[in-house]
Amino acid sequence: MTFSNLRLIKPLVLALDKKGYTEPTPIQEQAIPHILEGKDIFGCAQTGTGKTAAFALPMLQLLDARKQANGPKTIKALILAPTRELASQISENFLAYGKNLGISHCTIFGGVSQVNQVNNLRRGVDVLVATPGRLLDLMNQGYIKLNNIEFLVLDEADRMLDMGFINDIKKILTKVPAKRQTLFFSATAAPAIMKLANTILNNPVHVAVTPVSSTASLVEQSVYYVKKEDKRGLLKFVLVNNKIDHALVFTRTKHGADKVVKDLAILGISAAAIHGNKSQGARERALKGFKNRTIRILVATDIASRGIDVDKLSHVINYEIPEQAETYVHRIGRTGRAGASGVAMSFCTRDEMPYLKDINKLIKKNIEVVSTHPFN
């Protein structure tokens, strides 16, 4: 199966070739034909499955076919994302995929000045990628109207609900036309998700790949039992002993992330934190430094991590075990992507063992315990 077999137009196929993409992923293979036919989609897919391209490619093709030569541009497609990082990542993909088409897009999110965003909107855009809060803010100021929307995408809807955006989403839905094509993506099909999906989708096609209970087969998973006060020493041990020069480290809290960065700095290891208390500029600098490998370790909280997509990331380290088992699957899904192998390590204290038990139950196997370390 190739992208040409999915009836994608040549400009899109050429853009994909330039990025080195030749074969569609399962979610792309399932979703693209239905979207091109104008159907609503309920997609159950976690990060790393290629779902952004699954909705971006057919949307770009349909927008290109309906493009008008003259007249001011109005927003025809709205993509809602839970975090700044994910919104930026989606925007980057639209830019790459649509480089051979004359379709403009704009990204808006909070935490930064609205001036540049408003200026971009005034020039007219076809596609708007937005986080709910900033979108509503600019709508209330009169800068954005959604009455010409033809496509509505909710990406990572489960995370948007977790972050308390449900009321914002409901307000936005009242401003978009009832006649539209809606694409809804979530990593889970929990009751609250299905309730929301059922209110906004019209006779949707259901596509599902890589259920949240599954972890990439190429990711080598292990757990280290350790006392809380020894985690700092254990982190240094695994980084040095395993010669890890690039890793994403997860903590449960913003304070915990900052503390790990300080601990690593004392050890002479370059690191940066990314979480909700950081300014957008600081978050972007940290992510850029991590991607170009001037920063060795990126320490992230779960909410800030949505949208982090780093090529050939070899290691994910759970400095703290997540309270929700599904979060573990999302975390380690940052490695072992696109057919590559990866390593996921977890540090577990006695009070975190119930979380580990839930994870083992969810993924239907016991994570291998490493007992040969100095802090056991």
Residue ending a domain, among 162, 185, 208, is 208
DSSP classification of residue 311: T
DSSP classification of residue 357: H
Q: Per-residue pLDDT for 214 more than 60?
A: no
Q: Is residue 73 part of a domain?
A: yes
Query: Does the model's pTM come out above 0.85?
Result: no
DSSP classification of residue 366: P
Q: Is residue 375 part of a domain?
A: no
CA angle 230, 233, 237 (to 5 degrees): 130
The pLDDT > 90 percentage for the chain reads 55
* 58 shares a domain with 108: yes
Q: Per-residue pLDDT for 371 more than 80?
A: yes
Phi-psi label, residue 228: left if phi above 0, alpha if psi -120 to 50, beta otherwise = alpha
Contact between 349 and 317 under an 8 Å Cβ cutoff? The reply is: no
What are the tens digits of pLDDT across the range 15-64?
A: 988 888 888 888 899 999 999 999 999 998 776 678 899 999 999 999 99
Q: Is residue 302 part of a domain?
A: yes
Residue ending a domain, among 177, 208, 239, is 208
* 254 shares a domain with 189: no
Report the C-alpha gap between 106 and 72 in whole angstroms. 15
* 94 shares a domain with 173: yes
User: How far is residue 193 from each of residues 89, 162, 164, 306, measured CA to CA in Å?
Assistant: 23, 10, 13, 18
* 204 shares a domain with 223: no
Report the C-alpha gap between 67 and 65 in whole angstroms. 6
Q: How high is the mean pLDDT of the chain?
A: 88
What are the tens digits of pLDDT across the range 133-169?
A: 999 999 999 999 999 999 999 998 888 887 788 899 9
Mean pLDDT across the stretch 243-254? 91
Q: Is residue 352 part of a domain?
A: yes
Mean pLDDT across the stretch 200-210? 88
Q: Per-residue pLDDT for 298 more than 60?
A: yes
* 161 shares a domain with 228: no
Contact between 197 and 184 under an 8 Å Cβ cutoff? The reply is: yes
User: How far is residue 234 from each of residues 246, 264, 317, 348, 376, measured CA to CA in Å?
Assistant: 16, 12, 11, 11, 9
Q: Is residue 214 part of a domain?
A: no
The closest of 80, 170, 161 to 128, measured between CA atoms, is 80
The closest of 224, 235, 231 to 369, measured between CA atoms, is 224
* 185 shares a domain with 233: no
Whole-number pLDDT of residue 25:
85
Least confident among 53-57, 282-286, 298-302, 368-372: 282-286
* 255 shares a domain with 142: no
Backbone dihedral angles phi then psi of residue 315, each to the nearest 5 degrees: -135, 140
* 123 shares a domain with 85: yes
Residue ending a domain, among 181, 208, 235, is 208
- Range of the structural domain that residue 130 is part of: 4-208
Q: Is residue 66 part of a domain?
A: yes
Length of the chain: 376
* 236 shares a domain with 163: no
* CATH at 82: 3.40.50.300
Mean pLDDT across the stretch 243-251? 92
Sheet strand arrangement including 271-274: 271-274, 297-300, 247-250, 315-318, 342-348, 219-225, 368-369
Whole-number pLDDT of residue 102:
86
Which of 5-19 are b and which e, b meaning 16 or more Cβ less than 10 Å from the residue's Cβ? ebebeebbbebbeee
Q: How many domains in the chain? A: 2
* 73 shares a domain with 160: yes
* 138 shares a domain with 37: yes
* 54 shares a domain with 24: yes
Q: Per-residue pLDDT for 260 more than 60?
A: yes
User: How far is residue 237 from each of residues 231, 233, 343, measured CA to CA in Å?
Assistant: 10, 6, 16
Report the C-alpha gap between 49 and 28 in whole angstroms. 9
Contact between 321 and 355 under an 8 Å Cβ cutoff? The reply is: yes
